[in-house]
Structure 1
Amino acid sequence: MVFTNESPPVARTPAPVRTRLDGVDIARGLAVLGMFVAHAGPAMLDPTAGGAAEFLAGLGNGHASVLFAVLAGVSLALLTGGSRPHEGSVLRRDRVRIAVRAVVLFVLGMVLTQLGAQMMVILSFYALYFLLALPFLRVRPAVLAVIAAVWTIAGPIASFFIRGAWTSADTVGGALSFTDLTSWDTAGAGFQRLLLDGAYPVLTWMPFVFAGLAVGRLDLRSTAVRLRLLISGVVLAVIGAGSSWLALNVFGGLRALEPVLANLAPIAAEIGKEPVELLQMMGFGVVPTTSPAFLLLNAPHAGTPFEITASTGAALAVLALCLFAGDRLRTLLAPLSAVGALALTVYTVQGLLLEPVLVGLSWQPWLPLLVLALGSLVFCALWRPLLGRGPLERVLHWTSTKTADLVVR
């Protein structure tokens, strides 16, 4: 979530003209709406809701945050030259800008967590993704894709065994707040959440960023590239979801999880779900370490190889469709594109307003979602053509640009 979307300038020109890829903003706007579904959707307020509420929850839960992570990698690539990566002092300046943005996002994420935002705040995790991506900005797309693929398998397995030998359930889920820095023990636990077992841990989420960085190094204005991206995304989604289904239903994964499913059966019956459905609704960033069979799940926020593969594929397919839509439906989708361009502002305001909106409007399960979604679309559609960058986007751009001006000569 670099919250920028600048296409590559012509290499080494004195004053490159930068234009935005509307499709990337549209995809980011969809991710924002998907987060609203995950945080304030009718299925979240009423777990027994079915029909359209359940369908929307399936689209938004887990997928919105993954789409953000993939788009973060795409935006990092676009910011640093796109298909023509920057070199020399220009690249050094880019790295400073990204590092400064990471610091701002890290602090902002801690602020939202400290204020008790009623969501799993992702900003501090994103800051670490950006910093870890800095050494890879000149790596070729094919190599980045291989890194993402290897990390997709190795990261979750390493996380499973490290957590099984070292961590406790006390740190699972959540993010970092200022309170965590009041002692060495709490600081250690806080950073453990960021790296290993929090809501969006670095160890299992970096493949999304590497995949996005590889995609952003391609010519995203090319129809052929977009078609390959769409097909690759669909194939990955089918492989991830299909392989998980086979592993669970054909090769004995569900049998290994029978004790867990038996314990969940009474609760599942109360809300009209199957035990395995309930199990797949309980992700907080990582799976339990009590059985290796948990690594076979493809569920939101599970952090398994199957979930990472399927979610990456879905994100790539959505991005490809949005790139096509951005060319053909630019005017119609302008409000959604504006939400994507002001994503940091919208995300932060959502964190501050989510609790009062949920408390005040929960008497109608669809109302919180409609208020957040329509309010964001109207606000951003009015702000962007009149004032350009959003308030927090201006802060991010100004601080990173001025710091780069001072540091890189």
Structure 2
Amino acid sequence: MVLGLILNILNSEVAVILDYYGVMFLLIAPVLFVPRWTLGLGAAVLLVGAPMLAAALNGAGPTMQPLAALVRGYFLTGDYPALMFLPFLLVGLIAARSDLGRAKTQFWMIAGGVLAAVLGYGAAYVLPGLTARAHSGSTVEILGSGGFALAVIGTLLWLTARERGRVGQVLRAVFWPIGATGSMALTVYTLQIILLAVAVAVRDNFDTIHYPGWPLLLGMTFGSLVFVSLWRRFHGKGQLERGLAFATREPVSRAKARARARSHDAEPEPKIQNR
């Protein structure tokens, strides 16, 4: 959240998502280990309820107090409202807890994702008054885009599985730069926001760069893939990922130690048998 607020200060002309992510992670933390059916129920309730609540509150803008308006923005009406994005996180958590390496999990991700995408985008196409426009925050847009993402991830997992043999090995090599980018997404995202802020400054002061534009987009994309591939190969984790790991290592170690101590205390004393 702090990093997101800092990046928002920069004039990158990008709607930064990191502070919204922070709110989403705080909301999802208490349910990390609840049963999967509970996660699914929560995702379904938010899928329908969050857009309805946002629509109901949309007319209350000018009369709201600043704090209430800030909370409403982060939860319901901002660029990446937490309650509307939580269904993505909850379904992703269900998939992750179902073992992403299993063919059965991959099959259900593909099948369920395709079904959700067809229902969401199909409903918007057939029924008047419904829109699946990107970031519209409608139920059909969340269902359609979330289903599409789930199906793509499931398909890539299936294609690159070790069970695919030589084909899987080749595809893992082809997609390795993308995997490397995902492994240090926070670092890459932050560097790209800084780069875009520089591009805006150059455009505004010297008028020597076209922003936004395809040359900048393609150059930044290709450059990022090359940079992260080399960094991942020779240095491992990204710098910001290392920082987060360092910041959480000690609390996690203490939590694991407490869990081991409780487990040890709960173990029954061994019985001594006389021979």
Q: TM-score range by the shorter chain?
A: 0.7 to 0.9
> Which of 40, 44, 48 matches 1:145?
40
Indicate how the Cα distance of structure 1 residues 346 and 364 shifts in structure 2: closer, same or farther if over 3 A, else same.
closer
Alpha-carbon offset, residue 247 of structure 1: 1.5
User: After superposition, where does 1:193-232 map in structure 2 within 5 Å?
Assistant: 193-232=73-112
RMSD of the TM alignment (CA)?
Answer: 2.1
Structure 1 counterpart of 2:56, one-letter code: F
Aligned pair 1:161/2:42, yes or no? Answer: no
* C-alpha distance in 1 between matches for 2:181 and 2:199: 19
SS at match of 2:174: coil
Shift of 1:131: 1.0
Work out the CA distance in 1 between the residues paired with 2:221 and 2:251. Answer: 35
Q: Which residue of 2 aligns with 1:379?
A: 227
Question: Normalising to structure 2: TM-score of the pair?
Answer: 0.82
Rounded Cα–Cα distance in structure 2 between residues aligned with 1:339 and 1:230 = 23
Match of 2:262 in 1: none
Alignment partner of 1:400 is 2:243: no
4+ residue segments displaced more than 4 Å: 185-188
- In 1, Cα distance between the equivalents of 2:75 and 2:213? 35
User: SS at 1:322's partner residue?
Assistant: helix
SS at match of 1:330: helix
Specify the alignment match of 1:355 in structure 2: 197
Letter paired with 1:147: G
User: Separation in 2 of the partners of 1:357 and 1:326?
Assistant: 36
Give SS of 1:316's match.
helix
Q: Does the aligned pair in 1 maintain the 2:12–2:198 contact within 8 Å? A: no
Matches within 5 A, 1:122-271: 122-164=17-59, 166-168=60-62, 186-248=66-128, 253=129
Instruction: Give, in whole Å, the separation in 2 of the partners of 1:146 and 1:209.
Output: 13
| TM-superposed deviation, 1:342 | 1.1
The AA in structure 2 aligned to 1:307 is E
The answer on 1:345 being equivalent to 2:179 is no
Query: CA contact under 8 A between 1:361 and 1:367: conserved in structure 2?
Result: no
Worse-superposed segment, 349-358 or 304-313: 349-358
> What's the CA shift string for 1:77-114, capped at 9, x where partnerless?
xxxxxxxxxxxxxxxxxxxxxxxxxxxxx000000001
Q: Name the structure where helix makes up a greater proportion of residues.
A: 2
- Give distance in 1, aligned partners of 2:50 and 2:10: 31
In structure 2, list runs of 5 or more residues that go unmatched.
162-167, 259-275
CA distance in 1, matches of 2:131, 2:87: 17
SS, match of residue 191 in structure 1: helix
Deviation at 1:326, TM superposition (A): 3.2
Scaled by the length of structure 1, what TM-score is found? 0.56
CA distance in 2, matches of 1:168, 1:303: 21
- Structure 1 residue runs without a partner (length 5+): 1-105, 172-184, 254-295
Q: Is residue 219 of structure 2 the alignment partner of residue 324 of structure 1?
A: no
Identity of aligned residues (%): 35
CA 1:398 to 1:363, structure 2 compared with 1: closer, same or farther past 3 Å? closer
**Structure showing greater relative contact order (alpha-carbon pairs closer than 8 Å, 6 or more residues apart):** 1
